[in-house]
A and B are shown apart, each in its own frame.
Chain A
Amino acid sequence: MPRKLEAHHFEALGTNCSLFAVGLPTGRLLEGEFWVRRIGARLTRFSPDSELSRFNASPGRWTEISPELESLLGESLHAFDMSSGLVNVAVLPSLQAVGYTRPMAERQPIATELRARPVPPLRDVLAVRPGAARLEPGAGIDLGGIAKGWMADRLRDWLGPNALANLGGDLSARGMGPVGDGWPVGLGGATVVLRDQGAATSSVRRRRWSAEHHHLIDPRTGLPARTGLEEVSVVAANGVEAEVVAKTALLVGPEVAPAYCAAHALAWWLSP
Chain B
Amino acid sequence: MRTVILKAGATVLTVAATALSALYVTAHLKNPAAPLQPAVLSASGATTLSAPGGTLTLGPSVQPSTAHPVTSTYAS
| Chain A contact residues, CB within 8 Å of chain B | 5, 7, 14-16, 18, 20, 148, 164, 166, 168-171, 177-179, 181-194, 197, 199-203, 205-206, 231, 233, 235, 242, 258-259, 261-263, 265-272
- Minimum CB–CB distance from B57 to chain A (whole Å) comes to 5
| Given A190-B64, A231-B54, A267-B58: A170 touches B73 (CB 8 Å cut-off) | yes
With A168-B76, A190-B49, A231-B75 in contact, is A259–B63 under 8 Å at CB? no
Jot down 19 A-B pairs with beta carbons below 8 A, ordered by A.
A7-B70, A15-B76, A148-B76, A169-B75, A169-B76, A184-B65, A184-B69, A189-B53, A190-B64, A192-B64, A193-B62, A193-B63, A201-B75, A235-B62, A262-B40, A262-B41, A266-B61, A267-B59, A269-B57
Counting CB contacts under 8 A, is B51 at the interface? yes
A15 — which chain B residues lie within 8 A by C-beta? 76
In chain B, positions 6-62 with a C-beta closer than 8 Å to chain A are 37-38, 40-43, 46, 49, 51-59, 61-62
Chain A residues, Cβ within 8 Å of B72:
166, 169, 185-187
Besides A200-B73, A270-B57, 15 new A-B residue pairs in contact (Cβ under 8 A), listed by A number: A16-B76, A20-B71, A169-B73, A169-B75, A178-B70, A186-B72, A188-B56, A191-B69, A192-B63, A199-B73, A205-B75, A231-B75, A259-B41, A263-B38, A269-B55
B53-A186 in contact (CB<8A): no
Which residues of chain A come closer than 8 Å to B75, judged between CB atoms?
169, 201-203, 205-206, 231
- B59 proximity list for chain A (CB < 8 A): 235, 265-267
The secondary structure that dominates the A interface is strand
What are the residues of chain A within 8 A of B46 when measuring CB–CB?
A: 262
Instruction: Please measure, in the bound complex, the distance between the C-alpha atom of A199 and the C-alpha atom of B61, giving whole angstroms.
Output: 13
Contact assessment for B73 and A191 in the assembled complex, using a CB-CB cutoff below 8 Å: no
Out of B38, B56, B68, B74, name the residue touching A190 (CB < 8 Å).
B56
Q: Are B56 and A267 in contact (CB under 8 A)?
A: yes
Contact B76 A270, beta carbon cutoff 8 Å: no
A184 to B57, CA, bound (A): 16
| Nearest residue, chain B, Cβ from A7 | B70
Question: B57–A18 contact, CB under 8 A?
Answer: no
Q: How far is the CB of A16 from chain B (nearest CB, A)?
A: 7
A183 touches B73 (CB 8 A): no
Known: A190-B49, A191-B66. A171 touches B54 (CB 8 A): no
Nearest CB to that of A231 among chain B residues? B75
Q: Which one of A177, A182, A186, A265 lies within 8 Å of B73 (CB-CB)?
A: A186
| A208 nearest CB neighbor, chain B only | B75
CA distance A129 to B2 in the complex (A): 70
Given known A261-B57, A266-B59, contact A184–B73 (CB-CB < 8 A): no
Chain B CB within 10 Å, residue with most, of A5, A233, A269: A269
CB of B67 closer than 8 Å to a CB of A: yes
Q: Is the CB of B58 within 8 A of A192?
A: yes
Give Cα A261–Cα B61 distance, bound, in whole angstroms: 14
Are the CB atoms of A189 and B69 closer together than 8 Å?
A: no
Complex-state Cα separation, A265 to B59, whole angstroms: 8
Contacts of B37 in A (CB 8 A): 259
